[in-house]
């Protein structure tokens, strides 16, 4: 099955409009923190990072942070108090993340940010119960990006969705273990398929049974869809924003 057949089956008659919106303009938001260089990120991405509810003084982990748009939102919420570990496994993307942290944050906000390059799956084992808040903005199918690239389209397969869902599940399990009791996780992806979104949350609720609960998130944009465990913002209904799925989990105290 090819990419277009797969998503046409998934979305039915909606696919035509969604496909057009995915190829169309997105909705970037300018994020300028004090006098630092402005950074542009999708409004739905801004919303998701903000939904984690970070406050000054907290210890925060951004597990998959590059190129860094959401890290800026988290650092802006910390206001230079507490700590933010912005982690990404890819060396090239991590260099971009370093530049974004250096250029788009004022010095007093950047001083509490540490950039690291561990596989996210390791945090649970090596930093257990260490963070108040964790953002898991997981690697995903990124269909909006794939659709705009012949090279990526040729590499797409149903098997890739399944492999990504397994990886996303491992990252999320690691985040649960690295979280302090009472702490919260925001799981997000820019994937279209439920397998990488609600499906991953459903599995973690089984895998870490009794340890976590799902919190509700108040939607902001018209057209946001409520899913079994979170919110999905898709560009055909959200005026070009997204795609972003987000779900919030709390570790029981």
Ligand X SMILES: C[S@@+](CC[C@H](N)C(=O)[O-])C[C@H]1O[C@@H](n2cnc3c(N)ncnc32)[C@H](O)[C@@H]1O
171 to 14, 52, 102, 105, 190: CA distances (angstroms)? 31, 17, 26, 27, 16
139 binds ligand X (CB under 6 A): yes
Shortest CA distance to 190 belongs to which of 124, 126, 119, 139? 139
Write the DSSP symbol of residue 13: G
> Which of 95, 121, 198, 239 forms a contact with ligand X (CB under 6 A)?
121
In whole angstroms, the minimum distance from the beta carbon of 12 to ligand X comes to: 27
56 to 74, 88, 91, 105, 106: CA distances (angstroms)? 10, 23, 29, 15, 15
If the CB atoms of residues 15 and 52 are measured against ligand X, the closer one turns out to be 52
64 binds ligand X (CB under 6 A): yes
> Which of 54, 65, 74, 204 forms a contact with ligand X (CB under 6 A)?
65
Contact map string, positions 163 to 182, toward ligand X, x by CB under 6 A: --------------------
In whole angstroms, the minimum distance from the beta carbon of 229 to ligand X comes to: 19
| Sole window of 7-15, 16-24, 113-121, 239-247 interacting with ligand X (rule: CB under 6 A) | 113-121
28 binds ligand X (CB under 6 A): no
In whole angstroms, the minimum distance from the beta carbon of 233 to ligand X comes to: 15
- Residue 190: active-site member: yes
Classify residue 235 by burial, with Cβ atoms within 10 Å: 0-12, 13-18, 19+.
buried
Contact map string, positions 32 to 51, toward ligand X, x by CB under 6 A: -------------x------
What dihedral do alpha carbons 214, 220, 226, 228 form, nearest 10°?
A: -10
Q: How many CB atoms lie within 10 A of CB 157?
A: 13
Residues that bind ligand X (CB under 6 A): 45, 64-70, 88-90, 93, 119-121, 137, 139
């Amino acid at each position: 099955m090819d990419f277009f057949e797969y998503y046409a089956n998934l979305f039915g008659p909606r696919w035509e409009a969604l496909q057009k919106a995915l190829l169309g303009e997105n909705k970037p938001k300018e994020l300028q923190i004090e006098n630092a260089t402005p950074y542009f990120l999708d409004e739905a991405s801004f919303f998701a990072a903000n939904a984690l509810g970070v406050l000054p003084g907290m210890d925060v982990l951004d597990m998959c942070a590059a190129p860094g748009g959401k890290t800026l939102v988290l650092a802006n919420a910390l206001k230079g108090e507490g700590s933010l570990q912005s982690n990404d496994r890819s060396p090239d993307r991590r260099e971009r993340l370093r530049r974004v942290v250096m250029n788009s944050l004022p010095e007093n906000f950047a001083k509490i940010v540490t950039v690291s390059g561990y596989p996210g799956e390791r945090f649970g084992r090596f930093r257990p119960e260490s963070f108040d808040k964790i953002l898991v903005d997981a690697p995903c199918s990124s269909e909006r990006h794939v659709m705009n690239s012949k090279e990526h389209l040729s590499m797409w397969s149903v098997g890739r969705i399944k492999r990504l869902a397994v990886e996303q599940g491992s990252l999320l399990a690691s985040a649960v273990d690295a979280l302090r009791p009472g702490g919260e996780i925001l799981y997000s992806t820019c994937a279209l398929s439920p397998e990488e979104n609600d499906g991953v949350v459903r599995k973690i609720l089984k895998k870490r049974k009794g340890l976590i609960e799902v919190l509700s998130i108040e939607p902001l944009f018209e057209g946001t869809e409520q899913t079994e465990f979170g919110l999905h913002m898709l560009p055909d209904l959200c005026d070009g924003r997204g795609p972003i799925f987000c779900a919030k989990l709390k570790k029981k105290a």
